Amino acid sequence: MTTYPAEFQCAQITPYSLTVDMGVLRTAMDGGGARQRRLYRTMPTVYALEFVMTVEQLGEWQVWVNDNGYDYFTIDNLESYQAGLEGKVSSPHVIRFISNLAIDNPVFGWVRVKVQAEGAILGAAPVL
């Protein structure tokens, strides 16, 4: 499996976030509480990632992303329930990018790249 290059910038800690799809289907009832059931127990995860780098680094980074980022790859140091299951704060994760790259310029010579990624489902091999 492809690995995110160690020489590239890590995802920023802030505003790193993730959403976990718990597969909950709720049906409101006329009387009493809503009925609820789980549609699945795989818990797909979507990450909101940001990378900050120089404009010069962006060229090489974006070439790598165009070639590899939209297929599953391993990236170090993400925080999630997966890391917690391993007894760690962060751990390597298998992800792929699923959105366009949103790039802004916070200060001259530097860019901030925002992208969403989905995590491979724990316990299941990613479809390649």
Any domain includes 110: yes
**Percent of the chain predicted with pLDDT > 90:** 53
Helix, strand, coil content of the chain in percent (nearest 5): 15, 40, 45
Range of 63's domain? 2-119
pLDDT at 44: 82
Any domain includes 124: no
User: What CATH number has the domain bearing residue 104?
Assistant: 2.40.30
pLDDT at 120: 83
Question: Model confidence over 28-81: pLDDT tens digits?
Answer: 999 889 999 988 777 788 999 999 999 999 999 999 999 999 999 999 888 887
Report the domain count for the chain.
Answer: 1
Phi-psi sector, 67: left (phi>0), alpha (psi -120 to 50), beta: alpha
pLDDT band of 7, cuts 50, 70, 90: very high
Q: pTM score, two decimals? A: 0.80
Any domain includes 43: yes
Any domain includes 52: yes
